[in-house]
Amino acid sequence: MAQRTVTRIGGHLVAEAFEALGAQVVMGLPGIHALPIWEALRTSPIRDVAFRTELAAGFALSISSDSKKKVPAYLFIQWLNSNDISIQRVQLPYALRDPFRENHFTSAEYMGRWPEAQQYLEALKAGAVNGLLDLSIIQTDKYEEALRQGVSKLWAGENPKAILDQVAAEWDALTDRIGVDKQRAAYEAWASKPNAYPAAT
């Protein structure tokens, strides 16, 4: 039986560095800037925990009770989210991570990065105050996983239309297994909640 060849990418080096440092769990915010790392973590012994927003990830920054390096871990978290370091992180040109501290939204440096930067920050701040709910239907994670695998195939150079057709087929099969009426009811219950959709203007 032919063995599947795994193409090594830069993400594997990052995952291996985490492993060499003794990391057991990696938490973060998936995005286009870090997809190779998340892809590499799939075959790593390190457990990965993904979040949908910077705010949710921030709440998860904690130290395991059985950690052998509690003080360094605490000091790293403190340093990572300090005023001086966090304002640099949210302006990284290859990531442009969501601002999450008050000083990020009011930073003259950030607002001067490009002509529309102030409007960008105002929109993100409004979104933080009036955030929309994440989609919550039956087995949301399985729909998202099918899409995530499709993105991985796109990174590998496979045909975009074939990928989308396959993802659509997997979504249809999943919906059929759950039951269209049951899923529609779950969706309508979610959609009826405040902030499921932006308010009409």
Instruction: Please tell me the pTM assigned to this model.
Output: 0.49
Q: Averaged over 49-72, what is the pLDDT?
A: 74
Q: Say what angle helices 140-155 and 160-178 make with each other, to 10 degrees.
A: 170
Q: How far apart are CA 97 and CA 89, in angstroms?
A: 7
Give the total residue count for the chain.
Answer: 201
Taking only the tens place, the pLDDT of each residue in 66-98 is 778 888 888 988 898 899 999 998 898 866 667
Listed in sequence order, the residues at least 6 apart from 23 whose beta carbon sits closer than 8 Å to its beta carbon are 46
Taking only the tens place, the pLDDT of each residue in 163-189 is 999 999 999 999 999 999 999 999 999
Q: Is the pLDDT of residue 103 over 80?
A: yes
Q: Is the pLDDT of residue 28 over 60?
A: yes
Residue 152: CB atoms within 10 Å: 16
pLDDT band at 6 (very low <50, low <70, confident <90, very high): low
